[in-house]
Structure 1
Amino acid sequence: MVSLICTLQDHRDDVNWCAFSPTLLATCSADKTVRIYNTQDFSEVPYSPLSGHGYGVHCCCFSACGQYLASCSTDGSTVVWSTDTGEIEAVLEHPGRNPVRVCAFSPDSSHLVSGASDGTLGLWDFRTKTLHRTGAVNDTTMVACSFTPCGQMFVTGSTYGDLRLWDLDMNQLHAEKNTHDLGVTCCCFGPKILSGSGTVQFRLASCGQDSTLKIWTVSRSNTGSCKMQLLHTLTGQSAPVLSCAFSADGQLLVSGSVDKTVTVYDASQGTLLYTLNQHERYVTACAFSPSTPLFATGSMDKTVNIWRVEDGHSGHVETATFSCEGRKLLCHSRLLVSDWSEEDVGAWLCEEGLQALVENFKANNIDGAELISLTKETLASELNIESVGLRSKVLRKVEELKAGCVCTGVPDEYLCPITRELMKDPVIAADGYSYEREAIESWIATKNRSSPMTNLPLQTTLLTPNRTLKMAIGRWRTSQ
C-alpha cells in the first residue's frame, strides 16, 4: 500500500528535483530557490529557502553524511551549502560557464560531478573544492548522472540518447548508444554491489523521451572491461518518463512522467505495483528516503508530494487528509493575496509554520489586504507579537508572498524564460523567443552567445522590442 501523507507547495514555479538525506528533504525549482524540510514532520528549516542562484535550479543532491547539499543552475554554477547553517560553502564554476543541468556526489562524498548543456562534464575533488578532471560529449546536453555504489565509476545520460560509463580519471569505459529514442532524461544506480565469476555488477535504471523506463545490468570484469545488458523495459506510462529512483534496499523503483502519473515497480521482477495520479502536471522529480519508507515526487504543478510505502503490495492507494500540520494544497493559492479572506490568511499561516499566530490574526481581523500591509510596528503594537525573531519571520514570509504572488496565475508567455518573472521590457532574440531585456543582455554577455532555450548559437545579438507582448502584459496587469 502507498499513502499520500502530505503535499508541500512552497515553490513558485516548476519543481525540478528532489533529494533526501537521512534527516532532510531538499527540493529545487525554476523559481531559483532550494527549499529544505525536516523529514520528521516536513516543516521547513529556519534558513530555507536557499537563494544563491541567479537563475532556475535544475538539480540538487546531498553528500553521504548529509552535511552538505549541492545545487546546480542555469547560471553555470554548482553551489555547495552547509545543511547546518544554510550558508554557502563553495561556488563551483562549471568550465565554460554553460548552464549546469545535473550534479551528483560519489557515495563517499570525495567527488562531485556536474554536467552541462554543452555536453561538458566537470569532476570535482570535493575535499579541496577544485576541478579534478573534465570531459565532454559533443553536440548534446548532459541531463543525467549517477555514481556506482562503489564510487569508482559513474554513468551519464544525454539528450543524444546514450548512456556512458566513466572512471574517476574521466576515461570512458563504455558507451551504450540509442538507449532511449529522443534522449535520456534521468538515470540512477541501485544501492547494491553484486559480485560473481570475476565480475562486479550493478543495477542501473534509466528513463527517457521514448516513454520507457529501463533496468540494466552494468558489469565490470577484473580485467577492466565493461558491458551493459538490458534486463527489463517497463512501459507503465504513456508519455516521456522524466525521473526515476531506486528505494534504499533496491527492491522498488519509482518513476514520474509527462502523463502526470507516478509509477512504482518491483525492481527485481520489473512488475508494476502502483500507479499514482495525484499530480496535476508533469512529474519531473522523484527520490526515496535512505532511512524511512518514504519517497517524494515533484511536479510542474509546483508541488512536492510525500508518499509512505507500507508493507505488502495490495495495489491500493490512500490519500491522507491533513490539517495545517500536514501542509495540504489549499484553494487560497488560486486567489490574489489582496482577495484572501481571514480564513485564507489563517491557512497560509499554518502552511508557513506560524499556526501559533492564527487566533491572534483572526482576533484582529487580518485579511489578505491587511496582511500585505503589515509592518514591524503594527506587528508589535497592534498584534502584540513580542518576539523580535517572530516578527522578523512574519515579515520575511510576507515579503516572499508578495514577491511570489506577482507571478501566480500569470500566463506562461508573459514570463521571461530565463528569470521566470513577469516581463517589463520584453525583446525578441535571434532564436525567436521573447525575454526580459536585462536578462537576455546579461545572458549574451556571459554565455558565449548561445540560446537559453535551444542551446544553439545566436546568429546575432540584435534584440527587437516586442511591443505587442508588452501591451498585452500591461493589459493583463491592469485587469489584476
Structure 2
Amino acid sequence: MVKLIHTLADHDDDVNCCAFSSALLATCSLDKTVRLYSLSDFSELPHSPLKFHTYAVHCCCFSPSGHILASCSTDGTTVLWNTQNGQTLAVMEQPSGSPVRVCQFSPDSTCLVSGAADGTVVMWNAQSYKLYRCGSVKDGSLVACAFCPTGTLFVTGSSCGDLTVWDDKMRCLHSEKAHDLGITCCDFSSQPISDGEQTHFFRLASCGQDCQIKMWVVSFTHVSGFELKYKSTLSGHSAPVLACAFSHNGQMLVSGSVDKSVIVYDTNTENILYTLTQHTRYVTTCAFAPNILLLATGSMDKTVNIWQFDPEALCQAGSTEDQPKQFIEDWSEDDVSTWLCAQGLEDLTGLFKMNNIDGRELLNLTKESLADDLKIESLGLRSKVLRKIEELRTKVKTLSSGVPDEFICPITRELMKEPVIASDPLTFFIHDHVICK
C-alpha cells in the first residue's frame, strides 16, 4: 500500500516542479522561489528558500551527486545553486532571452540542457558554466527534457506535440509527433533493458494534453543504429496529463493530471497499482526518490504531498507471481475486487461481491447487465467499467492466441495480414479489405 506521510505547504503559489536527491527534496513555484527540505524529517533547510529569480520558477533538478541544484525561470535564466549552503554558483542566461521552461543534468554531470519558450535548446558546460551548443525545434515551446541513462542522447518535448531526439553533440537524430495537443513531460527509465551486446533498449514515457501517457522503446543496434518505437498508451486519466516519472528501479511509473489525481502504474504489466486523489487542484509534478520508497507530488493547490510505499506490498506489486492469476477467467471474487481497486473502482467491490462476480462473470458483463442486473445508475461509471472490461477481453484474446498485440487489429482484434510499410514510416495491414494502421 501507499500512504500520505507528510504535506509541505510553504509555497505561496502553484507548485511547478519537485525533485529528489539522495538526501534532499527541492520544490519550485510560481511564487519565484525554490525550497529545499531534508528527507530525514522533511524540515526546510536553514538557507531555504532560495531567492534569485524575478519571475515564476518552472523547473528544478539535482545534479547526480546532489551537490548542485539547477532552476529555470520565466526571467530567461537557469541558475545553479550549492545545495549545502544555498549560494548561487552561476547564472546562465538563455541566448534568446526567452523564458526557460525546463532544465536537466546529464547523467555524468558534465552538461546541463535548458529549453525555452521560443523552441531553443541550449547545452551548457556544467563545470565552466559556459554555453557549449545551441539548437531549436521547428515549432512550439520546449516544455520537457530527459536524458537516457547512458547520457549519449536526450529527448525534448514541445508544446506542439513533437518528441525530438538529440545526441550528446546536439545533433538532431529524430523528431515525430507524439501527442496531438502538445507534450507536457517525458522521462527515461534509469534501468536499461539489455539484449546481449548488440542492442540496448531504454523505456521512455511521454505525456500530454491529449490525456494520454505513451510508452516508447529507444534502441541502439550496430546494424540499424538509433530507433524510437511506440509501444503502448496508458489512458488512466480523464484530463490532460501534466507530469510523469519512473521509479528508480524502473518498476513503476507515476503520473499527475488536470483531473487532480495521481496514478501509479506497474511498468511491466501497465496495470494501475494506486490512484491517489488527495490534491484539490491540478497535479503539476511528481517524482520518486532515488534510494528510498518515497514519492512527491506537487499541485496548483500550493502543496507538495510526500507518499511512502510499503516495501512488502511494493515487492508484491512488481512480481508477476503475486499478481492476480494471469488467466482472467480463473479469477476468484477476491481477485475481481483487487482488480476493481487497481482501476479506481473500489466503490463497486461490495456490489460485485454481493452478486458473486468472479473472473468468468466479469468478462461476460454487458451494458445491459450493468444497468439492469447490477443497478449501476451512473452512465459515466457504467462506461468506465465497460472500457476496463474490454481491456481485459483484449488481454484474454492476446494471451490465448500467443500473437503479439501489435499484430492484432485495433478495431476488430483479429489477426491482421499482408503488412505494408509506408515511407512515413507507418505500418498498414490489410484485413477483410479494410486498411488499418
Cα displacement string for residues 107-129 of structure 1 (whole angstroms, at most 9, x for unaligned residues) = 11111000000000000111111
CA distance in 2, matches of 1:299, 1:222: 44
Aligned partner of 2:350 in structure 1 is none
1:196 CA displacement: 2.2
Aligned amino acid, residue 163 of structure 1: L
> Partner letter of residue 307 of structure 1?
W
Q: Any conservation in 2 of the 1:118–1:138 contact (CA below 8 Å)?
A: no
Q: Paired residue for 2:183?
A: 184
C-alpha distance after superposition, 1:143-168 (max 9, x if no partner): 00000000111000001111111011
* Counterparts of residues 11-50 of structure 1 (less than 5 Å): 11-50=11-50
Which residue of the partner structure matches residue 210 of structure 2? 210
1:89-104 matched pairs, under 5 angstroms: 89-104=89-104
Matched residue type, 2:126: F
Question: What per-residue deviation string (whole Å, max 9, x for no partner) do you get for residues 92-146 of structure 1?
Answer: 1111110000000011111100000000000011111111100001331000000
Whether contact under 8 Å (1:173, 1:225) holds in the other structure is no
| C-alpha distance in structure 1 between counterparts of 2:247 and 2:8, whole Å | 21
Residues 245 and 288 of structure 1 are in contact (CA less than 8 Å); yes or no, is this contact kept in structure 2? yes
In the alignment, the residues of structure 2 paired with residue 266 and residue 196 of structure 1 have an alpha-carbon distance, to the nearest angstrom, of 22
| Alpha-carbon separation, structure 1, partners of 2:201 and 2:289 | 23
Q: Which letter maps to 1:133?
A: R
Supply the distance in 2 between the matched residues of 1:98 and 1:120 (Cα, whole angstroms).
8
| 2:57 alignment counterpart | 57
Q: CA deviation at 1:230?
A: 1.9
* Superposed CA RMSD: 1.4
Q: Distance in 1 between matches of 2:152 and 2:139?
A: 26
Partner of residue 129, structure 2:
129
Give the Cα separation in 2 of the matches to 1:233 and 1:173: 23
Indicate whether 1:272 and 2:251 are aligned: no
CA distance in 1, matches of 2:89, 2:276: 38
Post-superposition CA distance 1:386-413 (Å, at most 9, x none):
xxxxxxxxxxxxxxxxxxxxxxxxxxxx
Q: Which runs of 5+ in 2 are unaligned?
A: 318-337, 343-437
Query: Counterparts in 2 of 1:24-423, with a 5 A limit?
Result: 24-177=24-177, 179-196=178-195, 198-223=198-223, 225-310=225-310, 311-312=312-313, 313=317
Trace 1:401-480 onto structure 2 (pairs within 5 A): none
Task: Give runs of ≥4 in structure 1 deviating > 6 Å.
Answer: none
- Unmatched runs of 5 consecutive residues or more in structure 1: 317-480
CA–CA distance in structure 1, aligned partners of residues 133 and 255 of structure 2: 31
Equivalent residue letter for 2:183: V
Distance 1:89 1:252 in 2: 34
The answer to whether the 8 A contact 1:77-1:100 is kept is: yes
**Structure 2 counterpart of 1:90, one-letter code:** A
- Aligned-partner SS, 1:95: coil
1 or 2 for the larger relative contact order (CA 8 Å, sep ≥6)? 1
- Shift of residue 193 of structure 1? 2.0
Separation (CA, whole Å) in 2 of partners of 1:273 and 1:230: 23
- Output the amino acid matched with 1:228: L
**Preserved CA contact (<8 Å) 1:22 1:290:** yes
Whole-angstrom distance in 1 between the partners of 2:256 and 2:192: 26
Task: State the AA in 2 paired with 1:129.
Answer: Y
- Relative to structure 2, which stretch is displaced further, 220-229 or 254-263? 220-229
Q: Distance in 1 between matches of 2:131 and 2:28?
A: 24
Deviation for aligned residue 1:223: 5.0
Amino acid corresponding to residue 48 of structure 1 in structure 2: S
Counterparts in 2 of 1:300 and 1:85: CA distance versus 1, 3 Å? same
- Equivalent-residue separation in structure 2 for 1:23 and 1:224 (angstroms): 41
Shift of 1:174: 1.4
Q: For residues 8 and 83 of structure 1, what CA distance do their matches in structure 2 show?
A: 19
- Over 3 Å counting, the alpha-carbon distance change for 1:224 and 1:10 in structure 2 is farther
**3-state SS, counterpart of residue 50 of structure 2:** coil
Q: C-alpha deviations, 1:263-306, integer Å up to 9, x for none?
A: 00001111111111000000000000001100100000000000
Task: Name the aligned partner's letter for residue 194 of structure 1.
Answer: I
Distance (whole Å) between structure 2 residues aligned to residue 247 and residue 141 of structure 1: 27
One-letter identity of the residue aligned with 1:233: T
Q: Distance in 2 between matches of 1:223 and 1:96?
A: 39
Amino acid in structure 2 at the alignment position of 1:303: T
The answer on whether the counterparts of 1:260 and 1:277 sit within 8 Å (CA) in structure 2 is yes
- Whole-Å separation in 2 of the counterparts to 1:114 and 1:94: 8
| Aligned counterparts of 1:222 and 1:88: Cα–Cα separation in 2 | 43
How far the C-alpha of 1:201 sits from its partner, in A, is: 1.1
User: Residue type matched to 1:172 in 2?
Assistant: C
Tell me the amino acid that sits aligned with residue 190 of structure 2. P
- Contact kept? 1:294, 1:308, Cα under 8 Å: yes
Change beyond 3 A, Cα 1:224–1:80: farther
Deviation at 1:224?
6.7
